[in-house]
Amino acid sequence: DGGITQSPKYLFRKEGQNVTLSCEQNLNHDAMYWYRQDPGQGLRLIYYSQIVNDFQKGDIAEGYSVSREKKESFPLTVTSAQKNPTAFYLCASRDLKALYNEQFFGPGTRLTVL
């Protein structure tokens, strides 16, 4: 099955710890994205990457870091500098060669800081 996988589904972290969320896709998409979702709000873009070894900040990049060493993988690290990290995190991907720019989403990771 082609798709996007995120792991783990639920993650608990103590304050002051860094934590890394996994995102893998086998759709052969060029671009990958990380979003944060809070209750009652739409999704907000954290980081995105169009090509291996390159990525750009989104609207709320502070306190987060990413890497793109492989086309299939785009892990997100939530650092201790992120003031309010408890949220639902969604990864997405897009085929840059497609005519329209819809994004395809993974199932999400719910991060809770204790």
Partner 1 sequence: AQSVTQLDSHVSVSEGTPVLLRCNYSSSYSPSLFWYVQHPNKGLQLLLKYTSAATLVKGINGFEAEFKKSETSFHLTKPSAHMSDAAEYFCVVSDEYNTDKLIFGTGTRLQVFP
State the residues that interact with partner 1 by CB under 8 A: 4, 6, 31, 33, 40-45, 48, 50, 56, 58, 88, 90, 92, 94, 99-108, 110
Query: How many CB atoms sit inside 10 A of residue 39's CB?
Result: 6
Both structure tokens of 74: 């785009």
Report the alpha-carbon distance of residue 93 to residue 68 in Å, rounded.
Answer: 13
Q: Residue for token digits 């998409």? A: 29
CB nearer to partner 1: pick between 61 and 80:
61
CB nearer to partner 1: pick between 11 and 80:
11
Please, what is the minimum distance in Å from the beta carbon of residue 30 to partner 1?
A: 11
DSSP classification of residue 98: S
Please, what is the minimum distance in Å from the beta carbon of residue 32 to partner 1?
A: 10
